[in-house]
Amino acid sequence: MIQLSKLRHTDSPNFFLMAGPCAIEGRDMALQIAERIVTITDKLRIPYIFKGSYRKANRTKANSFTGIGDELALSILNEVGTTFNIPTVTDIHESDEAAMAAEAVDVLQIPAFLCRQTELLEAAARTGKAVNIKKGQFLSGESMHFAAEKVHAINPEATVILTDRGNSFGYGDLVVDYRNIPAMQSFGVPVVMDCTHSLQQPNQSSGVTGGKPALIATIAKAAIAVGADGLFIETHPDPSCAKSDGANMLPLDQLEGLLERLVRVREAIL
C-alpha cells in the first residue's frame, strides 16, 4: 500500500483507487464527484485518491477541449483535497509544470506517451511529491524499470507508482497484457491498472477517441484477480456530456456496485 498524507483506510486489505473525471470541467462537478466517491470508498474501506486533469495536452484535434484554465483547475483540485481531506492526482506534460502542479496536488502523474521523458520525470521527482508513471502503450512492463529509476535517481525516497493502460494493438485499438502487473511489481513499487484508458480506441476517423466502457468491469476484475495494488477509473455523472474521454468513462452511478464486486474478488484471492 502506498503511504500518502490524507490517504485513509491504509490498514485495509483492499486495493486503492484513483478515480474522478478525465478533466476538471468546473468546481461544482468536481466536488460532486469527489463527495460521492468519498462516501462509497469510506463505506467499503478503500483508500482513495481523487483524479482530475487540470489541462489536457494530448488531443486528437486542435479544437478539442483542453481545460478551463490552469490556475482555476488547480485551485479546484486543491479545494477538493482540502474539503474532503483526501489526496489528489493530476497529470503534467512539461517539466516546467511540475512545481506549479505540486503546489495543488499530492501525486504528479506522467502520461503514458511521456513516460520516457527524462527531464519531465526528474522535474516531478524534485517536487518531493509521489509520482505515478503510466506505462507507454509501446512498452513492456519490464522496461518501466528505467522510468522508475529516473525518479529514484533524483529522489531516492520518492513514492513511485506504475500504471498499466494497455498496449497498442493494430490500428486504433489497445489490448491488456496482465503479465505487466507482476512484472512491474517486481521493482518493489505499487502497480495500478487503468481500467478506462485501456479500453480507448484512439485515432478514430471522427477525430474523437472511442472506447468500450462495457468492458470496464472485466478489466477491473481481471486486474484484481492478478493482484494489482490499485485501480484507476475515470468516472462522470453523464459520460455522454463529458468534455474529454466520455467514450470510455464509467457512469458515476455504476461505481459503487462495481467496487462492491471488486472487494469480493479481492477477498477471494487473499
What letters, b where the CB count within 10 A reaches 16 and e where it falls short, cover 168-200? eeeeeebebebebbebbbebebbbbbbbbbbbb
Looking at residue 202, its pLDDT comes to 67
Residue with cell 478514430: 204
pLDDT at position 60:
67
The DSSP secondary-structure symbol of 209 reads: -
pLDDT at 208 over 60: no
Under the banding of pLDDT at 50, 70 and 90, the label for residue 205 is very low
Mean pLDDT, residues 211-238: 95
C-alpha cell at 69: 484554465
How many Å apart are CA 60 and CA 28, to the nearest integer?
A: 27
CATH fold of 16-269: TIM Barrel (3.20.20)
Can you give the residue ranges of every domain in the chain?
16-269
The string of pLDDT tens digits covering residues 69-102 is 999 999 999 999 999 999 999 999 999 999 999 9
Residue 35 pLDDT exceeds 80 = yes
pLDDT (tens digit per residue) in 136-186: 999 999 999 999 999 999 999 999 999 999 999 877 789 999 999 999 999
For 96-141, write each residue's pLDDT tens digit. 999 999 999 999 999 999 999 999 999 999 999 999 999 999 999 9
The amino acid that residue 169 corresponds to is F
